[in-house]
Amino acid sequence: MQSELSIRLNDEGYKNWIKAGFCLQKIRDCLLGFVNTEMEKFHHFLLQTNSLLGQEICKNFCRPQGTKFQRACFLCEEWKKEILNHHTNQNNVIYWGNCSPQLWPNCAWEVAKVYMPRGQANRQGPEKSDAAALLNLINSCDQFNFVERQKVIEIIKCRNDLMHSVEMRVSAEWLDNCRKKILVLLQEFQHVPEAKAANKIIQEIVSSDWRVQITATDEVDALKFTDEEINAGQIFNAELELIREWVEELGFTVEEQEALHLQHLNSLNTFKEFLKQNNELKSVLHKEIEQLHTLEKKLKSGKRTVKDQDGEESNLEENEDIKTSS
Ligand SMILES: [Zn+2]
């Protein structure tokens, strides 16, 4: 087991991938409190602006689905209108299905979820959000108009690169670029003490050259950092979180597309191979392995076709690589 861990965490490209994920998680951690407070203010502002909003709670069990919110009652229509009024790009796809309209009058975060990407429905509060959710909220809600939007968009792009990395690896050059963009973004939040503090940690993580060492007692030694030691547990947690997000994102992408792209097929196979080589992760990634199997089953039973980059199609059933294996 230890040798698997040591090979994995000492692989340069994979290490860069984890480091970037760690940095994004730091952005989330340092902005969470601030963003939550801003959303409380925003919610209060909406209730003040439109007196209808605070009077009642939807009793029609209105339920938006995915990007659609049809047959909204009068009250929900008012909420929709106000929420959209404060969207910075109303032509964007809006994931209404993220929220329960019944909670809008009393829960600021439920309103915030309208400005976030898909997949937020079961996340009840800010502490359950990932960096992508927070960054998209900042980008899409005009409560954050003081932030230069392009700087946020750059980090959203970095995050997407990370999630769509078929090999779960990035180059040192990419990582350094991402680091620079993160620091530029954090400049916008220098009035937030946690964001100021995050600068230093992010610099340290990116520039560190950690090695996982196995001690004589078979325990994983602390990862060695240039300035300080961050224990292996922290890195391991960041790693798990990133892998979970990566699998979830793959699921969403496949779900949304009519044709399965070769790239996603490769991602699926990378993950299977990755688990084969890192047996100890299987015990902690139950849910993700389950998701993987569901995804594979769906792909096998569906009439989906595989498209390569040139748009050439081939029948999925003929592709041996996709067959389920444990
Ligand atoms: Zn309603």
What element of type H or E holds 27?
helix 12-49
Q: How confident is residue 308, by pLDDT bands cut at 50, 70 and 90?
A: low
Q: How far is the CA of 257 from the centre of ligand 1 (A)?
A: 30
Distance 84 CA to ligand 1 centre (A): 16
User: Under 8 Å CB-to-CB from 176, ≥6 apart: which residues?
Assistant: 206
Ligand 1 center from residue 101 Cα (angstroms): 6
Q: Which amino acid is at 152?
A: V
Closest CA relative to residue 264, chosen from 231, 203, 306: 306
pLDDT reading at 300 higher than 90: no
The burial class, CB within 10 Å (0-12 / 13-18 / 19+), for 287 is: exposed
Ligand 1 centre from 90 Cα, in Å? 21
Bigger pLDDT: 200 vs 139:
139
102 alpha carbon – ligand 1 mean position (Å): 7
- At 314, the pLDDT band (50, 70, 90 cuts) reads low
DSSP strands (E only) in 63-189: none
Residue range 164-215, pLDDT digits in tens: 998 999 999 999 999 999 999 999 999 999 998 998 889 888 888 777 665 5
Confidence at residue 270, expressed as pLDDT on a 0 to 100 scale = 87
Mean pLDDT of 113-130: 91
**For tokens 């991938």, what's the residue?**
17
DSSP H helix total and E strand total for the chain: 12, 3
- What confidence tens digit (pLDDT) does each residue in 25-77 have? 999 999 999 999 999 999 999 999 999 998 899 999 999 999 999 989 999 99
Distance 96 CA to ligand 1 centre (A): 13
- For residue 281, what are its two tokens? 């992760």
Q: How far is the CA of 139 from the centre of ligand 1 (A)?
A: 27
Residue 313: per-residue pLDDT: 59
Q: Over pLDDT 70: what percentage of the chain?
A: 83
Q: What is the pTM of this model?
A: 0.87
User: Ligand 1 centre from 47 Cα, in Å?
Assistant: 16
Question: Residue 306 pLDDT > 70, yes or no?
Answer: no
Tokens of 140: 């899409």
65 CA to centre of ligand 1 in angstroms: 13
pLDDT value at position 9? Answer: 79
Beta-carbon neighbour count of residue 184 at 10 Å?
14
Share of the chain above pLDDT 90, in %: 54
What is the arithmetic mean of pLDDT over 289-301?
A: 79
The mean per-residue pLDDT over the stretch 276-284 comes to: 86
279 neighbors 4 (Cβ within 8 angstroms)? yes
Per-residue pLDDT at 262 = 79
Q: Edge-to-edge, what's the strand order for the sheet holding 313-315?
A: 260-261, 305-307, 313-315
Length of the chain: 326
Q: Which of 5-19, 91-105, 181-195, 254-268 has the lowest mean pLDDT?
A: 254-268
Q: State yes or no: pLDDT of 325 exceeds 60.
A: no
Higher-pLDDT residue of 205, 256: 205
Give the tens place of pLDDT for each residue, 210-237: 776 655 554 545 455 434 456 667 788 8
Going from the Cα of 33 to the center of ligand 1, the distance in angstroms, rounded, reads 30
Alpha carbon distance 290, 268 (integer Å):
13
Q: How sure is the predictor about 120, in pLDDT bands with cuts at 50, 70 and 90? A: very high
**Ligand 1 centre distance from Cα of residue 69 (Å):** 10
Instruction: For residue 171, report the phi and psi dihedrals to the nearest 5 degrees.
Output: -80, 165
Report how far ligand 1's centroid is from the alpha carbon of 95 (Å).
Answer: 16
Q: What is the dihedral of CA 112, 118, 123, 128, to 10 degrees?
A: -80
Closest CA to 89 of 138, 54, 50: 138
- Token pair for 52: 């209808």
Q: Report whether 221 contacts 215 (CB < 8 A).
A: yes
What average pLDDT does this structure show over 293-319?
A: 62
Mean pLDDT of the chain: 85
pLDDT tens for 99-110 read 999 999 999 999
Under 8 Å between Cβ of 321 and 269: yes
Q: What is the pLDDT of residue 188?
A: 95
Confidence of residue 304 (pLDDT cuts 50, 70, 90): low
